[in-house]
Amino acid sequence: MAKASVDIRSLMTGAAGAGPSSWAAAPGRQVAISFGGGLPDPATFPIEELIADVATVLRRDGDAALQYGGLVGYDGLRESIAERSRRADGRAVDGGNVVLTSGSAHALSLTCFAFVSAGDTVLIEAPTFAGSLRAIRSYGGRLVTVSVDERGMSVDDLEEKLAALKAEGRRPKLLYTIPNFHNPAGVTMSLERRRRLVRLAQEWQFLVVEDDAYGDLRYDGEPLPSLFALDDSGLVLKLGSFSKILAAGLRMGWAIGDPEVVGALTSVRHDMGVSPMVARTIAEFSKVRLEPHIQRLIAHYRGKRDRMVAALGEHCAPWVRFTTPEGGFFLWLELAPGVDPDALAQATAGEDVGYVPGPAFFADGDGRRNLRLAFSFVPSDDIERGIAGLGRALSRSARPT
């Protein structure tokens, strides 16, 4: 396109300067075996079932499914999500506590729009999901990080940060956490820490955004109560998604919480709501197919996790440390002192193996000695081959001992 001389960049807001980060790119372009993106396994997509359900919906309810459907979304799916929450969280919720969004990432974006003004203090975990970091920054949130260990977010560290903020006359507006099968750290927050976190939120009066995109995918152990289950103040908003338990390409997530909080999210959206066709199709799928589908996913992904853990033990043991996750998609590796992360990045490229380097998950460039592996996407039979390649790369990147 021809152009008169115009400096378009000078018209942009600060938010537009940042640009999309690399995790947003379409998957699998660059390396033969990518442990990079947190992508569901296409082998699990229930294609014929979805074709049947979308046909049922369009023939039965086409007039409504293809029309505008309002900002909060299809009541049938909101009610179905509330029903799952009543069972899992034991809260007396109904569809009025739920708003449908274009994935849980969109729900977080709306939450920031509704609750984070430029300069507001936002508490996040270090590490945390790169996409969430980007969203919170877009709204001008002033980030304060809380450390994460093998029992999830450190509530001791949180208390210290709150005290330090108080000393500066600052008060946090919002805390963002991934308590189950943390992305990227793989860890799960302990019950004791969950209780303390909810108490702190009530005491300090900040909103807690509980991102639970992976919560249904638990492979070992007993489910813990969600923060939402432990709260009675309305200050916990829980985000969920069909991306990992059905299909990411449907772009359907939700937020469930106090009606006033959910209403605030709704009031700042301008997309006229999610697709009623997609929402109704998922509601149809949820009637009888969803729960057995999730059980199959659990068996499938448990097997992939176990293969990756075993392969790491065989090929990478001297050079990495990690906590085996009880669910979710991710292994979070810490490199042994002798391994040079830059050399590793070069060496893995040569092996045609992909991962996400740790700094993507930190607000401050930390995480140089970490990397995230997703075991979810790569076909089971390629996992060992990829991890063997990673092992060779690690051996070449390590100082001789």
Interacting residues with its own copies between 324 and 343 (CB under 8 A): none
* Closest residue by Cα to residue 242 from 201, 204, 284: 284
Nearer to its own copies, 104 or 145 (CB): 104
Residue numbers 121-150 binding its own copies by CB under 8 A: 131, 134-135, 138
Instruction: Give CA–CA dist 213/245, Å, rounded.
Output: 9
Non-local (6+) Cβ contacts of 173 within 8 A are 115, 116, 117, 120, 121, 122, 141, 206, 207
Least Å distance, CB 295 to its own copies, is: 19
Residue numbers 53-92 binding its own copies by CB under 8 A: 54-55, 58-59, 62-71, 91-92
Q: Could you say which of 103, 240, 327, 386 contacts its own copies (CB under 8 A)? A: 103
> Does residue 248 touch its own copies according to CB under 8 A?
yes
Nearer to its own copies, 86 or 151 (CB): 86
Nearer to its own copies, 78 or 315 (CB): 78
Q: Which stretch binds its own copies (CB under 8 A): 6-14, 161-169, 184-192, 211-219?
A: 6-14
Q: Could you say which of 9, 288, 365, 381 contacts its own copies (CB under 8 A)? A: 9
Residue 14, phi then psi, degrees to nearest 5: -60, -35
Least Å distance, CB 122 to its own copies, is: 12
* Closest residue by Cα to residue 188 from 197, 176, 178: 178
Distances (CA, A) of 375 to 8, 42, 92, 204, 312: 42, 13, 36, 38, 11
Q: Could you say which of 126, 209, 264, 387 contacts its own copies (CB under 8 A)? A: 264
Least Å distance, CB 235 to its own copies, is: 6
Instruction: Give CA–CA dist 236/222, Å, rounded.
Output: 22
Residue 366, phi then psi, degrees to nearest 5: -70, 180
Residue 113, phi then psi, degrees to nearest 5: -60, -40
Structure-token pair, residue 291: 């729960």
Residue numbers 198-227 binding its own copies by CB under 8 A: 202, 205-207
Q: Could you say which of 33, 114, 122, 175 contacts its own copies (CB under 8 A)? A: 114
Least Å distance, CB 372 to its own copies, is: 16
Q: What residue has token string 């790369």? A: 393
* Residues that contact its own copies, how many (by CB under 8 A): 99
Nearer to its own copies, 26 or 163 (CB): 26
In 10 A of CB 262, how many CB atoms?
A: 25
Tell me the one-letter amino acid at 330.
F
> Does residue 356 touch its own copies according to CB under 8 A?
no
Nearer to its own copies, 122 or 371 (CB): 122
